[in-house]
Structure 1
């Protein structure tokens, strides 16, 4: 099962009845570039987030410290018209979701798709 499929399936309990997922992507709270200084910084300060974009709202969910796919709780709910991107670079820094998140390039197409549907 692909990582996006796992995140989508794990997000099902936090959705409202009839709500459709348009995009889902993973993010983390600490830049991977800190690993150049020390791996321990990443290990103790990093936390993963799953961002679920539905037809009604955007959810930022806590995922934990070790794995990106579980959806443990909703940390933040944003209006659907919130613009997330445009992403760029290998690790893009996102400040539009209520906290500073770092998104890897493999999820940039999901952000562009979510912003495209909102427009």
Structure 2
């Protein structure tokens, strides 16, 4: 199963009844260029996050220490009208979700899809 499919399946337990998942993408809290120096930085710092976007809210969740596709507990929740992007570059630095997150280019289309999706007004 592709990573997007895993993220959607693993985030299902966070959704309220009738709440559709619009997008989910991975991010990390550690600067990716510093993380290249040592994998231990990522393991010790608990650096992976999963951002789950529904039509009602945006959730920033913990992820596994070694796997980005696990979706753990909710760290923060934001209203759906918050604009996340626009992303750019290979590693985009997102500052709109409470903590500095680095999002790789492979997830930029998910960020754009989340921003473009219709939502219920908050």
SS at match of 1:103: strand
Equivalent residue number for residue 23 of structure 1: 23
Of residues 14-23 and 42-51 in structure 1, the stretch that sits farther from structure 2 once superposed is: 42-51
User: What is the CA distance between 1:43 and its match in structure 2?
Assistant: 4.0
The Cα offsets for residues 52-102 of structure 1, whole Å up to 9 and x where unpaired, read as: 100110011100221101111111110000000000000000010011100
TM-score (norm 2): 0.90
5+ long unaligned stretches in structure 2: none
SS at match of 1:64: coil
Query: 2-side partners of 1:86 and 1:109: how far apart?
Result: 10
Query: 2-side partners of 1:94 and 1:72: how far apart?
Result: 20
5+ long unaligned stretches in structure 1: none
- Is 2:6–2:69's contact at 8 Å kept on the other side of the alignment? yes
User: What is the CA distance between 1:118 and its match in structure 2?
Assistant: 4.6
- Is 2:42–2:65's contact at 8 Å kept on the other side of the alignment? no
